Structure 1
Amino acid sequence: MRRRALDAPVSEGRRVWEWIQQIRPLHPSLGLWRPTADSPQEAEQGPPITQDYLLQYIHDAQTTSRYPHFSLAPAFSGQINQGNKLELSFNKPSPGNAGIGLMTGEALGSALDASEDLADTLMHTTASVFTPNIIGGLSRSDHPIKNLNRDKPYPFFYVPGWKMFFASDSPHYQRATQLATRTVPVANGAIFTFGTPDTYPTILNQW
């Protein structure tokens, strides 16, 4: 989910913490969040993260970065080497932008494939907390690769997804409405469903 930052990175981190609290009950693998580590052994021994830890991690990444833009992966949830990884970026792809990504592990990924209600709730919660003004999506890592020479790239610069969020003032909002199999208004836009986790690439190739 990408959005425009409304404040300094550390202040944005408070919203990330709020989001973590809201998604904890959605799936067992989202209940416990621990710091990323250099080895599975260190990760296993890591204590649960706190808001202070998260904000300090963001602050340290910002102050040690050689450039205005920076990325970090401060925490994970679920089983070691099989869990979900939190990724944050700031001032990417443009100054003032911020992004959040959740690389889902096998347990959560399977649950999202099996339950559209869970997928909708995760998307709705994320859009409500961050009110992104660019784009957000729920996609699978094994989705078919688009043939760019034959089909040309998508008009948006982010990975296409089974469910995608577009702000109502996005230039892609109207086309998303035309192709979506379901549309649910939320926050400052809508969540569009494009078929299923298996069929969405075919639908989006019509873009």
Structure 2
Amino acid sequence: MTNKLNNEEFWREFIHLYRSLPATWKIKSEMYKDKMLKHDCYVKLTNKLKEIDPTADINTTKKKINILRSNYRRELKKVLASEKSGADIDDIYLPSVWYFDEFKFLRDHEIQITGKSTTDEDETFLNTSMQQSQNITSENTKDIFATSSAETPVTPVSISHEPLKKKKRKNSEKQKMNDLLELACNRLKQS
């Protein structure tokens, strides 16, 4: 077997297979709600991934897809922001990942998900999602093709819908500090 880890052709085939299985990505589809069908689709994707990573399992497959989609989403946001800014055609942002065009079938889906919200809860969620996407560096984009299934598990991020309150010191604590400083100053003056 040739080393397909960094082979664009393999990943194109993988993405095309993913596209052909809407039960894994098309949320509004009835197929997406069928857990058995979705599981079978992930098994097919995992079997494809095993061509380059014999230890791959369904969780590994889901991680790979999540990383690819996160990078696509980040690049799509940059493209859309560039288009909205009124930039000339020559100045519109060009995606830096080679597989951006391969994921164009997700464009309408991603635009719906990341559309402008009208509630604070949605804005909090979108801001958190954007921060997570931005945390993925271009190194991670290159490393996705070289990672193994021994990666550390992804920890879900909890989102609080309550605004963060700044911690304030109690007046008594401030008073104690002022008293101590005053006492120290007095003792220094006496010596």
Query: Structure 1-normalised TM-score?
Result: 0.24
Structure with the greater alpha carbon radius of gyration: 2
Query: Structure 2-normalised TM-score?
Result: 0.26
Higher strand residue share: 1
Higher helix residue share: 2
